[in-house]
Amino acid sequence: MPSHLPPPTGAGRREFRATLLLALAFACVNAPGARAGDGHRLWLRYVPVHGVWRARYRRAATELISQNGAPGTRAAHRLRSRAPSATLRAAQSELLRGLTGLLGRPPRLSPRVTTNGAILIGTPRSSALIRSLPLDLAPTGTQGYLIRTLQVHGHRTIVIAARRDIGVLYGAFAFLRLIQTRRPIEHLDMVSRPKIRHRVLDFWDNLDGTVERGYAGDSLWKWGELPEYLSPRYTDFARACASIGINGVVLDNVNASPVILEPLYLEKVAALAQVLRPYGIRVYLSVPFSEPIALGKLKSADPLDPAVQGWWARKVSEIYRDIPDFGGFLMKANSEGQPGPSDYGRTQAEGANLLARALAPHHGIVMWRTFLYSTSPGAEDRIRQAYDVFKPLDGKFQDNVILQVKNGPLDFQPREPFHPLFGAMPRTNLMLELEITKEYLGHQTSFTYLGPLYQEVLRSDTWAAGPGSTVARIIDGSLYGERETAIAGVANIGSDRNWCGSIFNQANWYVFGRMAWDPTASARAIAQEWVRMTFTNQAAFVRPVVRMMMRSREAAVDYMDPLGLASQMAAGTHFGPGPWVHPGKGFPSEWSSTYYSRADAQGIGFDRTATGSDAVAQYSPHVAAEFASLAHCPTDLLLWFHHLPWNYRMRSGRTLWDSLVSHYDRGVTAVKRMRTTWSRLARYVDPQRYRLTADFLTIQVRDAEWWRDASIAYFRSISHRPLPPGAAPPPEPLKTYEAFCIPYVEGTPGTGPACPPADIPVPR
């Protein structure tokens, strides 16, 4: 697809139809045959349907009715003279593209229903024919859609309708998804609307083209080429996001550069906004709190300073002049050295409200991150700090402020309990921040489907208002009645041809979008959907691959951070094991592995009960009692909340030490089984995508063994306990694992620690 949709014309329909068909023919002739399996087309491959399904779908999708209304009426004449919006043209273009690829021929473009198997799309405003039908579109809201089979002028017609144009586009993708996953379409009656209003991807992309925690190449945004050149990848990206309902993009890193608000860069942002707009995507920007000093040349960024308030109001108005649908700001303040309101003795609420007041006249929002902690020596428990700062501020934020809260209280670990702020601030808008890029889960080479992790946190019951007070109900507004609802995912998208560094990392982008639309959706059902659209509908492939996906996250937890351990990664890179990493000069204790494991000769685990940091008290009484009790604390969070002796008897009957070793072994075994399963599926996958996944699984087996051996070697040196019967000893001495490092890891700022001398063997 070109970067811009064909411009509307007055008489328009015939020219528009010819342009679309010409573009479609060009796309088919120049379809990347050699690249058909490189992953670039994501889940929008639209490969041909065969057999009985092909005949069924062809009968049901013979012609596509234009959105311009039925001819022969005065209203229709007026509508025909008005060109369809860019969003409706995108919906029609996608249906043409999809149905042509799936069914082998494009549907006829018709101004009215003339045959069985018609598809009618539009809104009551764009189509007199849709306006004449007995459709109740109120349940679709402002972003949802209706897909229904009706008799129109005596012919069976599939109607894709919505109150707003963007709903039609979402409905078009949903209809194509039915065909891609081989669902019947003869008798449709679907209504769907997003449960969350703002569904946002956060790009941690720097203006120099690098990506912090990015494992798929350089930045997608080519700032040096903007605004003159708009890469076709931007449109492909927008299509992919719209297909799963994502409607917002933060373009730059939360560790932001003040340059982003200079006129030169705002012109570039406006150009990107123009490409993304037809697909319902708003742009947002991360900005530093000190922007009035860096860019405005003021002496202060104090949120109560009238000069600062005036500067922000003028800058925001400037942005909206060029980007009328600008979404707002994402702010990281007073965290990891970033400036913030605390620098001036002000609260986080006073800082957030400064930006909120500037944005409010333009209907923009502030997404204010709660990832805040002090790196000063002697902090008792890092995970307590965000709650302790923000809880007292409940009810003090402007209505257009949404606090962006990570899924857990630490930092995107393989497993954490849900963040205690969820349910603790009933008078404040809260949104969930998830990480799609796998910063702590093996980067691009690890086969780790994050759907189970997302599902785990969304279904966590906070008990804030009694049973059923799930995180999902808090962020979708149904528990406390918030109007501004949001969810964010840290993007895993880059310049790599396959977008995400690996094929299966695409599934994490996909599941984020689908769960953002419906936080109660099933991770397994979404995995099945993605596999069918991305690979094949053959059950012999779908079933084992979905099983692999659903087990993959638990496998990673087992060989990395079992039983509630956390942050046992190598320093800086977050890749590979480093349970021995301890505080040092210029290296805060809160960044060290030993701070979190608290492993000593007597035992292991962080005591967060009343006898320790008492972080458990930040949860509701029901949840706190469960976590604090050894009898009821979930086994997979045991060492998160409790420091226990090595010989503590687990519910399984094993000692804690034996159970820990067993989990490491189980994780390695699970990854090896995944590799074996994949090796039997080559005939179902094109060679390029099969080989990439096979090679990455081989890497993951090596890494899992590395994690297992290094972790056991370290904790055995601390516990002085023998290995349980049948457990293999690590093949190298502990000093080998401690000395080994990777000096440069993709997506990691700066360089890693000094590497060992060349004569130290590399663990295998």
Distance CA 198, CA 142 (A): 12
In this prediction, residue 534 carries a pLDDT of: 98
Helices (H), 518-597: 523-534, 539-560, 593-597
Q: What is the pTM of this model?
A: 0.93
Tell me the C-alpha to C-alpha distance, in Å, between residue 81 and each of 6, 9, 315. 16, 9, 39
Active site residues: 336, 411, 439
3-state secondary structure 623-692: HHHHHHCCCCCCHHHHHHHCCEECCCECCCCCEHHHHHHHHHHHHHHHHHHHHHHHHCCHHHCCHHHHHH
Fold observed for domain 559-606+643-739: Alpha-d-glucuronidase, C-terminal Domain (3.90.1330)
Identical topology for domains 198-529 and 559-606+643-739:
no
Q: Which of 352, 353, 421, 345 is nearest to 383 (CA)?
A: 421
Within 129-268, strands assigned E span 145-152, 155-161, 189-192, 198-202, 248-250
In this prediction, residue 116 carries a pLDDT of: 85
In this prediction, residue 379 carries a pLDDT of: 58
Helix (H), strand (E) at residue 414: none
Contacts of 434 (CB under 8 A, 6+ apart): 406, 407, 450, 453, 454, 457, 487, 488, 489, 490, 512
In this prediction, residue 591 carries a pLDDT of: 84
Contacts of 737 (CB under 8 A, 6+ apart): 577, 706, 709, 710, 713, 714, 730, 763
Low-confidence ranges of the chain (pLDDT < 70): 1-36, 66-83, 374-379, 585-587, 750-764
Distance CA 438, CA 426 (A): 31
What is the per-residue pLDDT across 462-471, written as a single tens digit (0 to 9) for each? 999 999 999 9
In this prediction, residue 11 carries a pLDDT of: 38
| Amino acid occupying residue 722 | P
Which architecture characterizes domain 13-192 according to CATH?
2-Layer Sandwich (3.30)
In this prediction, residue 70 carries a pLDDT of: 36
Residue 119, helix vs strand vs coil: strand
In this prediction, residue 750 carries a pLDDT of: 63
Q: DSSP characters for 460-521?
A: -B--BTBTT-BHHHHHTSTTT--S--EEEEE----SSTTSSSSTTTHHHHHHHHHHHH-TTS
Could you state, in order of their start, the residue ranges of all structural domains in the chain? 13-192, 198-529, 559-606+643-739
In this prediction, residue 428 carries a pLDDT of: 98
Q: Which of 206, 200, 158 is nearest to 179 (CA)?
A: 158
Q: Which of 416, 503, 496 is nearest to 454 (CA)?
A: 416
Fold observed for domain 198-529: TIM Barrel (3.20.20)
What is the per-residue pLDDT across 275-334, written as a single tens digit (0 to 9) for each? 999 999 999 999 999 999 999 999 999 999 999 999 999 999 999 999 999 999 999 999
The first and second tokens of residue 168, run together, are: 């039609």
Within 253-364, strands assigned E span 282-286, 328-331
CB-count exposure of residue 634 (10 Å: 0-12, 13-18, 19+): middle
In this prediction, residue 37 carries a pLDDT of: 85
Q: Which of 458, 365, 368 is nearest to 404 (CA)?
A: 368
In this prediction, residue 741 carries a pLDDT of: 81
Q: Which of 384, 381, 351 is nearest to 368 (CA)?
A: 351
In this prediction, residue 743 carries a pLDDT of: 79
